[in-house]
Structure 1
Amino acid sequence: MTPMSNQTEPLSKTPIFCPKVSVIVPIYNGERDIPDLIDCLRSQTYPKDRIEYLLVNNNSSDRTLEMLNQAATEATQEGVNLTILEENEIQSSYAARNEGIRHAIGEICVFTDADCRPCSDWVKELVQPFSDPKIGIVAGELTALPGKSLWEKYAERYGVMSQKFLLEHPFCPYGQTANLAIRRSIFLEVGLFRPYLTTGGDADICWRIQQETDWKLTFSPLGIIQHRHRSTLKEFRSQFKRYGQSNRYLHDLYGVDLMRDFTLKELSSRLSLWIFQEVPKTMIKIILGKANSLDLIKTPIDLLRFQARSEGQKIAKLPEEANKIVWS
């Protein structure tokens, strides 16, 4: 009798979905962020031979270009494909992203910003949903990079930039370009970003794709980026003022509803409610260990956000050139 073999047939490994990817990062005066950003890009677990990094200097006046060129030299020595581009004609992150798209060779264009810190599996997780041929846009999650200031702690505790709020937008879902991926071929169908928009371009590109094509948008909860939030009151107000400007631009382009105006009457009413109802309840929760001191002042900070957005919405005027969509 022929003895039975103890050997088993090797299990075939399922191929991992691994398209070529182009990571595009617009950078303006980013010397504060470049070292940490580069470290995060170099630590990506996605195969080096399937990914390129296109960092686009957008007319910076600090040491950004010098630092980027040095980073590119070091990356080349490590086998990391990192290329430095420049967009110096139009001061706009969307114009800079367009320059990246023009040079991209990847099937998937992945976008983030200089003040973001991608986790090591970010690209791998963000790209996986594209294995579904119906998916054209993937938004990853944005969490807070831990900070020390009141404004950073507020943003962290209340998920200020979490994509989940935008994915539930009443007009149409979208993702922020701080953590967004789009099939490169789609730009041939709908055009590139509006280069003269200064805010709101992420919603615009996502909405154009969903309105003009059959491509679908989905969410990758494990494609995580930590975002460096604003650390001062001035920066905090500027951020939400810009969001208000975005509201106005998207209203002019798509007719979406504007947020209601911030009024002294509402301010007085909300502060009275906070002082006489919310503060006593929150104090009890703090004593019971069910809240912290930040929860105690959440309402006044919420009102600061509301006022800044309302101000931005009032003063914004869509530039005539922002109606232009470029195709190449």
Structure 2
Amino acid sequence: MSGTPPFVSVVVPTHRRREMLLRLVASLRAQDYPADRYEILVVHNAPDDGTAAAMTGLVAEGGLPALAYHPKNFSSPTPSRQFGAGIARGDVVAFIDDDCEASPGWIAAGVAAMAEGVGVVQGRTLPRSDQPRRFLEKTVCVTGPTPYFETCNIFYRRDAFAGVGGFSDAFMERFWGEDTDLGWKVTGAGWGRAFAPEALVRHEVFRQSFLAWHKEALNLRVWPLLVKMRPEIRRELYGRYFVSRQSAAFALGVAGLAGGALVHPVLLAAMLPYPVVRVVETGRYRNPAAIAARVLLGLPRAALIFGALAYGSVIHRRLVL
């Protein structure tokens, strides 16, 4: 996009996060993008937690960029994003979440990557550097292009978003998978994609309970539906049928356990790759004790993931494990 900077509409869904939202809005109002070339649209699933009064006050202050607040009674963030995109005036619709903070050059970098033919640009997302990392936590880290098209930091050309009808109805009441589906719809319609490392967003690092960490695994049951709706996603899967190398190793272990019990004990050897893969894929962990604890504590979660994927595979008649 060249010439006059395109007008950008930043859409923010929010729910019960008043202080985080105010921090985000402050970062959005401090962008180094021309103030008359973007707007901020906050769509609030509106409980009475002080967000309404705070946002009403900010809107009343006026000034640029334009800030608008829309309280709604939606059941998930997806309808809020769809509503915001529907009233957006921008040539580009940018999505960011209320638990994030945008770097000053976020909008400019996202727009700069929107070359001709590009319909979607992912930005770089990192955990907040001023918050401690936790053994069990919830945050987002995106350091390169992903097949998930995370809506915590993404830009869509308006024509591309509108051309595919925005978010799919099948995901309006779901809390996972709607962003992945949208990204693949846009690229499937012939639009290109890009990644903008300078479009940096910092994400909150939440403490997560052991129970919540396991319950979160159940969200993966939507993967077979995603593959059913967007068959091209299969090329991003491990071996075309597994969401990751870890899930493939766990499925092999389940098969080995069943085979060892029903056929011959030697088949129990198929259980060995899973702990090996988990140890090799340590992520940010380096301490051997932490790695061992993560592997052991992760076994119930891996079983839940396997069960959720198997359930989804049966319901949606698409095998993804």
User: Counterpart in 1 of 2:76?
Assistant: 92
**2:95 aligned with 1:111, yes or no?**
yes
Query: Which 5+ residue runs of structure 1 have no aligned equivalent?
Result: 1-14, 280-290, 319-328
| 1:247 and 2:227 are equivalent in the alignment | no
Pick one of 127, 141, 144 that aligns with 1:161: 141
Distance 1:67 1:210, change over 3 A: same
8 Å Cα contact 1:43-1:120 kept in structure 2 = yes
The TM-score normalised by the length of structure 2 is 0.73
C-alpha distance in 1 between matches for 2:111 and 2:302: 33
1:295 and 1:87 map into 2 onto residues whose CA distance is: 48
With normalisation by structure 1, the TM-score equals 0.72
Instruction: Kindly state the Cα deviation for residue 306 of structure 1 after the two structures are TM-superposed.
Output: 7.1
Deviations 1:110-144 (A, max 9, x none): 000000111111111111012x2111100000111
2:186 matches 1:209:
yes
Secondary structure of 2:107's counterpart equals: helix
2:108 maps to: 124
* C-alpha separation in 2, matches of 1:292 and 1:247: 27
- Matched residue SS, 1:222: strand
Q: 1:42 aligns with which of 4, 29, 54?
A: 29
Deviation by residue 1:224-271 (Cα, 9 ceiling, x = unmatched) = 001112223348616842652443442443354344357687599628
**Structure 2 CA distance for partners of 1:234 and 1:139, relative to 1, 3 Å:** same
Could you list the per-position Cα deviations for residues 154-203 of structure 1 after superposition, in whole angstroms to 9, with x for gaps in the alignment?
A: 778xxx52152xx35xxxx3421000000111233211113233211111
In structure 2, distance between residues paired with 1:278 and 1:100: 39
1:189 aligned onto 2:174: no
Note if contact 2:100-2:203 (Cα within 8 Å) is conserved in structure 1.
Answer: yes
- State the alpha-carbon separation in 2 of the partners of residues 229 and 192 from structure 1: 29
2:65 maps to 1:80: yes
Query: For residues 220 and 269 of structure 1, do their structure 2 counterparts lie closer, same or farther at Cα, with a shift above 3 Å needed?
Result: closer
Q: What secondary structure sits across from 1:33 in the alignment? A: helix
Quick one: structure 1 residues 304 and 67, their matched pair in 2 at CA, closer, same or farther if it must change by over 3 Å? Answer: farther
Match of 1:150 in 2: 134
Kept in 2: contact 1:17–1:128 (CA 8 A): no
Find the counterpart in structure 1 of residue 317 from structure 2.
none
Percent of counterpart pairs with the same letter? 22
**Residue 198 (structure 1) aligned with residue 175 (structure 2):** yes
Please give the alpha-carbon distance, in whole angstroms, between the structure 2 residues aligned to 1:217 and 1:227. 22
Contact (CA 8 Å) 1:86, 1:99: kept in 2 or not?
A: no
Shift of 1:273: 8.8
User: What does residue 311 of structure 1 align with?
Assistant: 304
Identify the range of structure 1 (118-127 vs 233-242) with the bigger mean alpha-carbon deviation. Answer: 233-242
Conserved? CA contact 1:247–1:313, under 8 Å = no
